[in-house]
Protein backbone atom coordinates (compact mmCIF):
# COMPACT_ATOMS: atom_id res chain seq x y z
CA UNK A 1 0.00 0.00 0.00
CA UNK A 2 1.39 3.40 -1.00
CA UNK A 3 0.17 5.45 1.93
CA UNK A 4 2.67 8.34 1.96
CA UNK A 5 3.13 11.29 -0.39
CA UNK A 6 6.41 12.14 1.32
CA UNK A 7 6.91 15.23 3.48
CA UNK A 8 5.26 18.61 3.20
CA UNK A 9 6.05 21.98 4.77
CA UNK A 10 3.34 22.91 7.21
CA UNK A 11 3.79 26.61 6.40
CA UNK A 12 4.50 27.04 2.69
CA UNK A 13 3.34 23.65 1.40
CA UNK A 14 6.60 22.78 -0.42
CA UNK A 15 6.98 19.04 -0.93
CA UNK A 16 9.99 16.89 -0.09
CA UNK A 17 10.69 13.17 -0.50
CA UNK A 18 10.48 11.08 2.68
CA UNK A 19 14.07 11.47 3.90
CA UNK A 20 15.59 12.42 7.29
CA UNK A 21 14.96 16.17 7.03
CA UNK A 22 12.85 18.25 9.37
CA UNK A 23 12.72 21.87 8.21
CA UNK A 24 11.70 23.45 4.95
CA UNK A 25 14.78 24.68 3.10
CA UNK A 26 12.95 27.78 2.03
CA UNK A 27 10.90 29.06 4.99
CA UNK A 28 12.30 26.90 7.83
CA UNK A 29 8.77 25.72 8.64
CA UNK A 30 8.33 22.20 10.06
CA UNK A 31 7.99 19.31 7.64
CA UNK A 32 5.10 16.94 8.20
CA UNK A 33 4.32 13.49 6.87
CA UNK A 34 1.74 13.74 4.11
CA UNK A 35 -0.62 10.75 3.99
CA UNK A 36 -2.86 9.60 1.16
CA UNK A 37 -6.11 9.61 3.08
CA UNK A 38 -8.01 8.48 -0.02
CA UNK A 39 -6.01 5.25 0.07
CA UNK A 40 -6.17 4.90 3.86
CA UNK A 41 -9.95 5.28 3.78
CA UNK A 42 -10.24 2.07 1.80
CA UNK A 43 -8.17 -0.05 4.20
CA UNK A 44 -8.46 1.37 7.74
CA UNK A 45 -11.64 0.35 9.55
CA UNK A 46 -12.60 -0.23 13.17
CA UNK A 47 -12.38 -3.93 12.44
CA UNK A 48 -8.89 -3.72 10.90
CA UNK A 49 -7.69 -1.77 13.93
CA UNK A 50 -9.34 -4.11 16.43
CA UNK A 51 -7.72 -7.08 14.68
CA UNK A 52 -4.27 -5.56 15.32
CA UNK A 53 -2.00 -6.19 18.30
CA UNK A 54 -2.73 -4.69 21.77
CA UNK A 55 -0.10 -1.98 21.21
CA UNK A 56 0.29 1.29 19.32
CA UNK A 57 1.03 -0.79 16.21
CA UNK A 58 -2.67 -1.51 15.78
CA UNK A 59 -2.60 1.96 14.13
CA UNK A 60 0.42 1.13 11.96
CA UNK A 61 -1.35 2.20 8.76
CA UNK A 62 -1.62 5.73 10.21
CA UNK A 63 2.05 5.89 11.23
CA UNK A 64 4.90 6.78 8.85
CA UNK A 65 6.66 3.38 8.81
CA UNK A 66 7.11 1.32 5.67
CA UNK A 67 7.25 -2.17 7.17
CA UNK A 68 6.82 -3.74 10.58
CA UNK A 69 8.01 -2.16 13.80
CA UNK A 70 11.74 -2.74 14.26
CA UNK A 71 11.64 -2.05 18.01
CA UNK A 72 9.06 -1.36 20.71
CA UNK A 73 6.56 -4.01 19.68
CA UNK A 74 4.68 -3.70 22.98
CA UNK A 75 4.53 0.09 23.27
CA UNK A 76 1.18 1.72 23.98
CA UNK A 77 -2.42 0.58 24.36
CA UNK A 78 -2.17 1.75 27.95
CA UNK A 79 -5.21 1.86 30.25
CA UNK A 80 -7.87 4.51 29.90
CA UNK A 81 -9.15 4.58 33.47
CA UNK A 82 -12.60 5.83 34.49
CA UNK A 83 -11.58 7.98 37.45
CA UNK A 84 -14.74 8.08 39.55
CA UNK A 85 -13.06 9.01 42.82
CA UNK A 86 -11.15 11.86 41.22
CA UNK A 87 -14.33 12.96 39.44
CA UNK A 88 -16.12 13.23 42.80
CA UNK A 89 -13.24 15.22 44.23
CA UNK A 90 -13.29 17.57 41.25
CA UNK A 91 -17.07 17.76 41.20
CA UNK A 92 -17.32 16.37 37.67
CA UNK A 93 -19.49 13.71 36.10
CA UNK A 94 -17.06 11.93 33.77
CA UNK A 95 -13.28 11.99 34.24
CA UNK A 96 -10.84 9.64 32.54
CA UNK A 97 -7.12 9.14 33.04
CA UNK A 98 -5.13 8.07 29.99
CA UNK A 99 -2.34 6.39 31.87
CA UNK A 100 0.99 6.34 30.06
CA UNK A 101 2.83 6.19 33.37
CA UNK A 102 2.71 2.43 32.68
CA UNK A 103 3.74 2.59 29.02
CA UNK A 104 6.12 -0.24 28.11
CA UNK A 105 9.12 -0.25 28.28
CA UNK A 106 10.31 3.03 29.82
CA UNK A 107 7.18 4.31 31.60
CA UNK A 108 6.31 7.38 29.62
CA UNK A 109 4.50 8.34 26.41
CA UNK A 110 7.91 8.96 24.82
CA UNK A 111 8.06 5.24 23.99
CA UNK A 112 5.44 5.95 21.32
CA UNK A 113 7.51 8.54 19.46
CA UNK A 114 10.77 6.67 19.91
CA UNK A 115 9.38 3.36 18.62
CA UNK A 116 8.51 5.14 15.37
CA UNK A 117 11.76 7.16 15.19
CA UNK A 118 14.04 4.18 15.82
CA UNK A 119 12.11 2.04 13.35
CA UNK A 120 12.59 4.82 10.77
CA UNK A 121 16.29 5.12 11.68
CA UNK A 122 16.68 1.43 10.85
CA UNK A 123 14.66 1.81 7.65
CA UNK A 124 16.98 4.62 6.55
CA UNK A 125 20.07 2.59 7.49
CA UNK A 126 21.41 4.66 10.40
CA UNK A 127 23.61 2.95 13.00
CA UNK A 128 23.43 5.71 15.65
CA UNK A 129 20.46 7.40 17.28
CA UNK A 130 20.54 10.52 19.45
CA UNK A 131 18.33 13.02 21.24
CA UNK A 132 18.16 16.13 23.38
CA UNK A 133 16.02 15.28 26.39
CA UNK A 134 14.50 16.48 29.64
CA UNK A 135 14.62 12.87 30.86
CA UNK A 136 11.80 10.68 29.62
CA UNK A 137 12.98 10.80 26.03
CA UNK A 138 16.50 9.96 27.21
CA UNK A 139 15.19 6.84 28.97
CA UNK A 140 13.22 5.76 25.93
CA UNK A 141 15.86 6.39 23.26
CA UNK A 142 18.48 4.55 25.30
CA UNK A 143 16.10 1.61 25.86
CA UNK A 144 15.02 1.28 22.24
CA UNK A 145 18.58 1.75 20.95
CA UNK A 146 19.60 -1.17 23.16
CA UNK A 147 16.77 -3.28 21.78
CA UNK A 148 17.62 -2.29 18.20
CA UNK A 149 21.37 -2.80 18.75
CA UNK A 150 22.13 0.77 17.73
CA UNK A 151 24.63 3.17 19.22
CA UNK A 152 23.08 6.08 21.09
CA UNK A 153 24.14 9.56 22.16
CA UNK A 154 21.86 11.11 24.75
CA UNK A 155 22.15 14.80 25.65
CA UNK A 156 20.55 16.08 28.87
CA UNK A 157 20.76 19.13 31.13
CA UNK A 158 23.27 18.30 33.88
CA UNK A 159 20.79 19.08 36.70
CA UNK A 160 18.28 16.36 35.77
CA UNK A 161 16.65 14.18 38.45
CA UNK A 162 18.85 11.24 39.53
CA UNK A 163 16.05 8.79 38.74
CA UNK A 164 16.01 9.86 35.12
CA UNK A 165 19.80 9.80 34.81
CA UNK A 166 19.93 6.28 36.26
CA UNK A 167 17.05 5.09 34.07
CA UNK A 168 19.08 6.20 31.04
CA UNK A 169 22.53 4.96 32.07
CA UNK A 170 21.28 1.45 32.75
CA UNK A 171 20.95 0.84 28.99
CA UNK A 172 24.63 1.77 28.35
CA UNK A 173 24.25 4.71 25.98
CA UNK A 174 26.79 7.51 25.68
CA UNK A 175 25.20 10.02 28.04
CA UNK A 176 26.33 13.63 27.68
CA UNK A 177 25.32 15.94 30.55
CA UNK A 178 25.45 19.55 29.38
CA UNK A 179 25.87 22.42 31.82
CA UNK A 180 22.86 24.44 30.73
CA UNK A 181 19.09 24.46 30.36
CA UNK A 182 17.21 22.09 28.08
CA UNK A 183 16.91 24.89 25.53
CA UNK A 184 20.68 25.21 25.45
CA UNK A 185 21.04 21.43 25.10
CA UNK A 186 18.54 21.50 22.27
CA UNK A 187 20.29 24.32 20.42
CA UNK A 188 23.58 22.46 20.76
CA UNK A 189 21.95 19.30 19.40
CA UNK A 190 20.61 21.18 16.38
CA UNK A 191 24.20 22.14 15.57
CA UNK A 192 25.51 18.64 16.27
CA UNK A 193 22.78 17.14 14.10
CA UNK A 194 23.91 19.42 11.30
CA UNK A 195 27.46 18.07 11.55
CA UNK A 196 27.18 14.34 12.36
CA UNK A 197 25.16 11.82 10.39
CA UNK A 198 23.09 10.50 13.28
CA UNK A 199 19.38 9.88 13.63
CA UNK A 200 18.48 12.63 16.10
CA UNK A 201 14.96 11.52 16.96
CA UNK A 202 13.73 15.02 17.81
CA UNK A 203 15.77 16.94 15.26
CA UNK A 204 16.21 15.44 11.78
CA UNK A 205 13.75 12.58 12.53
CA UNK A 206 11.17 14.90 14.04
CA UNK A 207 8.57 14.57 11.26
CA UNK A 208 8.41 10.78 11.86
CA UNK A 209 9.01 10.81 15.62
CA UNK A 210 6.22 13.27 16.35
CA UNK A 211 3.66 11.15 14.49
CA UNK A 212 4.07 8.45 17.14
CA UNK A 213 2.19 10.70 19.58
CA UNK A 214 -0.95 10.29 17.49
CA UNK A 215 -1.33 6.77 18.87
CA UNK A 216 -2.11 8.29 22.28
CA UNK A 217 -5.04 10.16 20.73
CA UNK A 218 -6.21 7.16 18.67
CA UNK A 219 -6.32 5.07 21.83
CA UNK A 220 -8.40 7.64 23.71
CA UNK A 221 -11.05 7.58 20.98
CA UNK A 222 -11.04 3.81 20.51
CA UNK A 223 -11.08 3.10 24.26
CA UNK A 224 -14.00 5.50 24.74
CA UNK A 225 -15.94 3.31 22.31
CA UNK A 226 -15.07 5.30 19.15
CA UNK A 227 -16.18 8.53 20.75
CA UNK A 228 -14.35 11.85 21.10
CA UNK A 229 -14.38 13.32 24.63
CA UNK A 230 -15.57 16.81 25.48
CA UNK A 231 -12.19 17.92 26.80
CA UNK A 232 -8.59 16.73 26.86
CA UNK A 233 -6.05 18.30 29.19
CA UNK A 234 -2.51 17.82 27.89
CA UNK A 235 0.85 18.63 29.50
CA UNK A 236 2.95 20.83 27.22
CA UNK A 237 6.74 20.94 26.99
CA UNK A 238 7.78 21.28 23.34
CA UNK A 239 4.09 21.48 22.47
CA UNK A 240 4.01 18.59 20.00
CA UNK A 241 1.83 16.11 21.92
CA UNK A 242 -1.25 18.35 22.11
CA UNK A 243 -1.09 19.04 18.37
CA UNK A 244 -0.73 15.35 17.56
CA UNK A 245 -3.60 14.20 19.81
CA UNK A 246 -5.77 16.74 18.04
CA UNK A 247 -4.50 15.55 14.66
CA UNK A 248 -5.30 11.95 15.65
CA UNK A 249 -8.90 12.81 16.47
CA UNK A 250 -9.29 14.69 13.19
CA UNK A 251 -7.77 11.79 11.23
CA UNK A 252 -10.20 9.33 12.83
CA UNK A 253 -13.01 11.72 11.90
CA UNK A 254 -11.74 11.96 8.30
CA UNK A 255 -11.67 8.16 8.10
CA UNK A 256 -15.21 7.93 9.45
CA UNK A 257 -14.24 6.06 12.61
CA UNK A 258 -15.81 8.37 15.22
CA UNK A 259 -19.36 8.06 16.52
CA UNK A 260 -21.15 11.34 17.09
CA UNK A 261 -19.75 14.84 16.82
CA UNK A 262 -16.11 15.82 17.26
CA UNK A 263 -16.22 18.86 19.53
CA UNK A 264 -13.24 18.09 21.72
CA UNK A 265 -11.65 21.11 23.37
CA UNK A 266 -7.88 20.77 23.76
CA UNK A 267 -6.41 22.40 26.87
CA UNK A 268 -2.72 23.05 27.60
CA UNK A 269 -1.21 22.41 31.04
CA UNK A 270 2.12 23.99 32.00
CA UNK A 271 4.06 24.89 35.11
CA UNK A 272 3.90 28.49 36.30
CA UNK A 273 7.71 28.46 36.31
CA UNK A 274 7.83 27.50 32.64
CA UNK A 275 4.58 28.24 30.86
CA UNK A 276 5.25 30.14 27.62
CA UNK A 277 2.51 28.29 25.70
CA UNK A 278 -0.18 28.91 28.32
CA UNK A 279 0.98 32.53 28.45
CA UNK A 280 0.33 32.79 24.69
CA UNK A 281 -3.15 31.33 25.23
CA UNK A 282 -3.97 33.67 28.10
CA UNK A 283 -2.71 36.72 26.17
CA UNK A 284 -4.25 35.43 22.93
CA UNK A 285 -1.12 36.03 20.88
CA UNK A 286 0.66 33.76 18.42
CA UNK A 287 4.05 35.26 19.30
CA UNK A 288 5.96 33.07 21.73
CA UNK A 289 8.11 34.81 24.32
CA UNK A 290 10.74 32.33 25.53
CA UNK A 291 11.38 31.97 29.27
CA UNK A 292 14.15 30.66 31.54
CA UNK A 293 12.53 27.68 33.29
CA UNK A 294 12.23 27.48 37.06
CA UNK A 295 9.97 24.58 38.06
CA UNK A 296 10.07 21.19 39.72
CA UNK A 297 8.38 19.79 36.59
CA UNK A 298 11.70 19.32 34.82
CA UNK A 299 10.27 17.10 32.10
CA UNK A 300 8.20 20.12 30.99
CA UNK A 301 11.00 22.66 31.45
CA UNK A 302 11.30 23.84 27.87
CA UNK A 303 11.39 27.63 27.74
CA UNK A 304 11.52 27.85 23.96
CA UNK A 305 9.10 25.17 22.73
CA UNK A 306 9.46 24.31 19.04
CA UNK A 307 5.74 23.66 18.63
CA UNK A 308 4.58 26.49 20.88
CA UNK A 309 2.94 28.27 17.99
CA UNK A 310 1.08 25.14 16.88
CA UNK A 311 0.09 24.19 20.42
CA UNK A 312 -1.44 27.65 20.80
CA UNK A 313 -3.24 27.25 17.48
CA UNK A 314 -4.57 23.82 18.53
CA UNK A 315 -6.17 25.20 21.69
CA UNK A 316 -7.58 28.14 19.75
CA UNK A 317 -8.94 26.04 16.87
CA UNK A 318 -10.54 23.51 19.20
CA UNK A 319 -11.99 26.10 21.57
CA UNK A 320 -9.79 25.04 24.47
CA UNK A 321 -7.74 27.07 26.91
CA UNK A 322 -4.83 26.53 29.32
CA UNK A 323 -3.72 26.76 32.95
CA UNK A 324 -0.48 27.23 34.85
CA UNK A 325 0.37 25.21 38.00
CA UNK A 326 2.72 26.39 40.74
CA UNK A 327 5.22 24.00 42.32
CA UNK A 328 2.93 23.51 45.35
CA UNK A 329 -0.05 22.86 43.09
CA UNK A 330 2.02 20.34 41.11
CA UNK A 331 2.78 18.35 44.27
CA UNK A 332 -0.88 18.61 45.34
CA UNK A 333 -1.88 17.29 41.91
CA UNK A 334 0.43 14.28 42.21
CA UNK A 335 -0.90 13.50 45.69
CA UNK A 336 -4.52 13.99 44.63
CA UNK A 337 -4.23 11.49 41.78
CA UNK A 338 -2.44 8.99 43.99
CA UNK A 339 -4.93 9.38 46.87
CA UNK A 340 -8.04 9.13 44.71
CA UNK A 341 -7.09 6.69 41.95
CA UNK A 342 -3.99 4.83 43.13
CA UNK A 343 -1.95 6.19 40.22
CA UNK A 344 1.52 7.55 40.90
CA UNK A 345 2.57 10.05 38.27
CA UNK A 346 5.63 12.23 37.89
CA UNK A 347 5.67 16.00 38.30
CA UNK A 348 4.34 16.55 34.76
CA UNK A 349 1.22 14.58 35.70
CA UNK A 350 0.87 16.79 38.77
CA UNK A 351 0.85 19.78 36.43
CA UNK A 352 -1.90 18.24 34.33
CA UNK A 353 -4.12 17.29 37.26
CA UNK A 354 -3.65 20.74 38.80
CA UNK A 355 -4.43 22.45 35.50
CA UNK A 356 -7.54 20.31 34.98
CA UNK A 357 -8.75 21.26 38.45
CA UNK A 358 -8.26 24.96 37.71
CA UNK A 359 -10.04 24.76 34.37
CA UNK A 360 -12.99 22.99 36.03
CA UNK A 361 -13.15 25.47 38.89
CA UNK A 362 -13.01 28.37 36.43
CA UNK A 363 -15.93 26.89 34.48
CA UNK A 364 -13.84 26.47 31.32
CA UNK A 365 -14.52 22.73 31.60
CA UNK A 366 -18.21 22.20 32.36
CA UNK A 367 -18.86 19.75 35.20
CA UNK A 368 -21.33 17.79 33.09
CA UNK A 369 -18.94 17.18 30.19
CA UNK A 370 -16.43 14.37 29.75
CA UNK A 371 -12.76 15.14 30.33
CA UNK A 372 -9.63 13.11 29.68
CA UNK A 373 -6.55 13.98 31.74
CA UNK A 374 -3.30 12.97 30.06
CA UNK A 375 -0.87 11.28 32.43
CA UNK A 376 2.33 10.81 30.50
CA UNK A 377 5.03 9.74 32.97
CA UNK A 378 5.75 7.65 36.05
CA UNK A 379 6.13 8.97 39.60
CA UNK A 380 8.99 6.66 40.50
CA UNK A 381 11.20 8.70 38.17
CA UNK A 382 10.81 11.93 40.16
CA UNK A 383 10.65 10.96 43.85
CA UNK A 384 12.75 14.02 44.74
CA UNK A 385 9.67 16.24 44.46
CA UNK A 386 7.88 14.34 47.22
CA UNK A 387 10.49 13.32 49.82
CA UNK A 388 9.91 16.39 51.95
CA UNK A 389 6.13 16.13 51.69
CA UNK A 390 5.71 12.53 52.86
CA UNK A 391 6.58 10.98 56.20
CA UNK A 392 6.97 7.44 57.40
CA UNK A 393 3.99 7.34 59.73
CA UNK A 394 4.68 4.52 62.09
CA UNK A 395 7.91 2.95 63.20
CA UNK A 396 7.60 0.19 65.80
CA UNK A 397 9.39 -2.76 67.34
CA UNK A 398 8.25 -6.19 66.07
CA UNK A 399 5.72 -6.78 68.87
CA UNK A 400 1.94 -6.86 68.92
CA UNK A 401 1.76 -4.57 71.94
CA UNK A 402 3.91 -1.98 70.18
CA UNK A 403 1.52 -2.08 67.23
CA UNK A 404 -1.54 -1.81 69.48
CA UNK A 405 -0.07 1.32 71.10
CA UNK A 406 0.83 2.83 67.72
CA UNK A 407 -2.65 2.16 66.36
CA UNK A 408 -4.31 3.73 69.39
CA UNK A 409 -1.99 6.69 68.98
CA UNK A 410 -2.86 7.08 65.28
CA UNK A 411 -6.58 6.90 66.00
CA UNK A 412 -6.36 9.52 68.70
CA UNK A 413 -4.53 11.82 66.28
CA UNK A 414 -7.06 11.20 63.54
CA UNK A 415 -9.98 12.43 65.64
CA UNK B 1 38.47 40.99 13.88
CA UNK B 2 35.00 40.31 12.51
CA UNK B 3 32.09 38.30 13.90
CA UNK B 4 31.94 34.55 13.22
CA UNK B 5 28.58 33.34 11.91
CA UNK B 6 27.54 29.69 11.87
CA UNK B 7 25.25 28.87 8.93
CA UNK B 8 22.72 26.00 9.05
CA UNK B 9 22.52 23.51 6.18
CA UNK B 10 19.44 25.03 4.47
CA UNK B 11 21.29 28.34 3.96
CA UNK B 12 24.61 26.96 2.77
CA UNK B 13 23.55 27.01 -0.85
CA UNK B 14 23.65 30.80 -0.48
CA UNK B 15 26.98 30.88 1.39
CA UNK B 16 28.72 28.80 -1.30
CA UNK B 17 28.65 25.74 0.94
CA UNK B 18 30.36 27.41 3.89
CA UNK B 19 29.23 26.30 7.37
CA UNK B 20 30.88 29.35 8.94
CA UNK B 21 31.37 32.80 7.48
CA UNK B 22 32.68 36.11 8.78
CA UNK B 23 30.77 39.35 8.74
CA UNK B 24 30.68 42.80 10.32
CA UNK B 25 28.04 44.77 12.17
CA UNK B 26 27.50 46.70 15.38
CA UNK B 27 24.17 44.94 15.92
CA UNK B 28 22.49 41.73 14.73
CA UNK B 29 20.45 43.83 12.33
CA UNK B 30 23.62 45.38 10.89
CA UNK B 31 25.23 41.96 10.66
CA UNK B 32 22.35 40.71 8.53
CA UNK B 33 22.84 43.68 6.16
CA UNK B 34 26.53 42.79 5.77
CA UNK B 35 25.64 39.14 5.19
CA UNK B 36 23.22 40.26 2.49
CA UNK B 37 25.98 42.30 0.80
CA UNK B 38 28.25 39.26 0.78
CA UNK B 39 25.59 36.67 0.03
CA UNK B 40 22.64 38.22 -1.83
CA UNK B 41 19.35 36.54 -0.95
CA UNK B 42 20.28 35.63 2.62
CA UNK B 43 18.34 38.46 4.25
CA UNK B 44 14.93 37.49 2.94
CA UNK B 45 15.44 34.02 4.35
CA UNK B 46 16.03 35.44 7.83
CA UNK B 47 13.71 38.46 7.93
CA UNK B 48 10.17 39.01 6.71
CA UNK B 49 9.02 41.96 4.59
CA UNK B 50 8.72 44.22 7.65
CA UNK B 51 12.26 43.44 8.78
CA UNK B 52 11.24 41.15 11.66
CA UNK B 53 13.04 37.90 12.29
CA UNK B 54 11.07 34.99 10.82
CA UNK B 55 9.10 32.76 13.22
CA UNK B 56 11.08 29.60 12.55
CA UNK B 57 14.59 31.08 12.88
CA UNK B 58 16.48 31.55 16.13
CA UNK B 59 19.66 33.61 16.40
CA UNK B 60 22.16 33.19 19.22
CA UNK B 61 25.02 35.49 20.18
CA UNK B 62 27.71 33.65 22.12
CA UNK B 63 25.19 30.83 22.77
CA UNK B 64 22.46 33.16 24.14
CA UNK B 65 19.10 33.51 22.37
CA UNK B 66 18.89 37.15 21.22
CA UNK B 67 15.30 37.32 22.49
CA UNK B 68 16.83 37.32 26.00
CA UNK B 69 19.15 40.15 24.89
CA UNK B 70 18.07 43.11 22.75
CA UNK B 71 16.62 41.00 19.89
CA UNK B 72 17.78 42.35 16.52
CA UNK B 73 19.26 45.43 18.26
CA UNK B 74 21.65 43.18 20.24
CA UNK B 75 25.11 44.73 20.14
CA UNK B 76 28.02 42.81 18.64
CA UNK B 77 31.77 43.11 19.11
CA UNK B 78 34.72 41.68 17.28
CA UNK B 79 35.21 37.99 17.84
CA UNK B 80 31.59 37.28 18.83
CA UNK B 81 30.12 33.95 17.75
CA UNK B 82 26.70 34.14 16.11
CA UNK B 83 24.64 31.02 15.36
CA UNK B 84 21.67 30.89 13.02
CA UNK B 85 19.57 27.84 13.98
CA UNK B 86 16.24 26.55 12.66
CA UNK B 87 13.68 26.84 15.47
CA UNK B 88 11.92 23.54 14.89
CA UNK B 89 13.71 20.95 17.00
CA UNK B 90 13.44 19.19 20.29
CA UNK B 91 10.77 18.27 22.78
CA UNK B 92 11.15 16.33 26.06
With an 8 Å Cβ cutoff, are A190 and B89 in contact?
yes
| Nearest by CB: A206 against B6, B57, B88 | B88
Helix (H) or strand (E) holding A95: strand A94-99
**Band of residue A387 on the pLDDT scale cut at 50, 70, 90:** confident
Domains of chain A: 80-106+211-388 (3.40.50.1100)
Domain positions in chain B are 3-86
Q: Is A343 a residue whose pLDDT tops 90?
A: yes
Measure B33 CA to nearest chain A CA, in Å. Answer: 19
CA distance A314 to A265: 9
User: Each residue of B10-54: pLDDT tens digit?
Assistant: 999 999 999 999 999 999 999 999 999 999 999 999 999 898 999
The confidence score (pLDDT) of residue A414 equals 75
A290 touches chain B (CB under 8 A): yes
User: Each residue of A80-109: pLDDT tens digit?
Assistant: 999 999 999 999 999 999 999 999 999 999
Chain B residues contacting A, CB < 8 Å?
A: 6, 8-10, 13, 19, 45, 54-58, 60, 63, 65, 67-68, 83, 85-92
| Nearest by CB: B65 against A191, A210, A304 | A304
CATH T-level assignment (fold) for domain B3-86: Ubiquitin-like (UB roll) (3.10.20)
Interface TM-score (ipTM) > 0.85:
yes
| Nearest by CB: B56 against A29, A190, A195 | A29
With an 8 Å Cβ cutoff, are A25 and B90 in contact?
no
A 291-350 → B contacts, CB under 8 A: 292, 299-300, 302, 304-307, 309
Q: Is A1 a residue whose pLDDT tops 70?
A: no
CA distance A163 to A413: 35
The confidence score (pLDDT) of residue A394 equals 85
The confidence score (pLDDT) of residue B1 equals 64
A 223-262 → B contacts, CB under 8 A: 237-240
User: Each residue of A128-176: pLDDT tens digit?
Assistant: 999 999 999 999 999 999 999 999 999 999 999 999 999 999 999 999 9
Amino acid sequence: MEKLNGLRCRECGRRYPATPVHVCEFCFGPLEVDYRYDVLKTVVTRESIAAGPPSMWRYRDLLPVEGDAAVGHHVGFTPLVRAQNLAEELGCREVWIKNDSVCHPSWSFKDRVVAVAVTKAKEFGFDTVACASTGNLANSVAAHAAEGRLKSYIFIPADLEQGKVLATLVYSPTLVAVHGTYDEVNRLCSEIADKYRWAFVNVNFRPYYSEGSKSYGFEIVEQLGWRAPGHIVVPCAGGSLITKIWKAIKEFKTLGLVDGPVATKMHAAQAAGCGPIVTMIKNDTDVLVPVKPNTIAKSLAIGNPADGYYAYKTTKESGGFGAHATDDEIVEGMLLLARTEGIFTETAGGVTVAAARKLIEAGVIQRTESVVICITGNGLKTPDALYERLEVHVKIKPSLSAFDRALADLKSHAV
Amino acid sequence: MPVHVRIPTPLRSITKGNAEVQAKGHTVEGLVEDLERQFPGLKERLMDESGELRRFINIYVNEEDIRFLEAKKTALKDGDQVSIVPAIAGGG
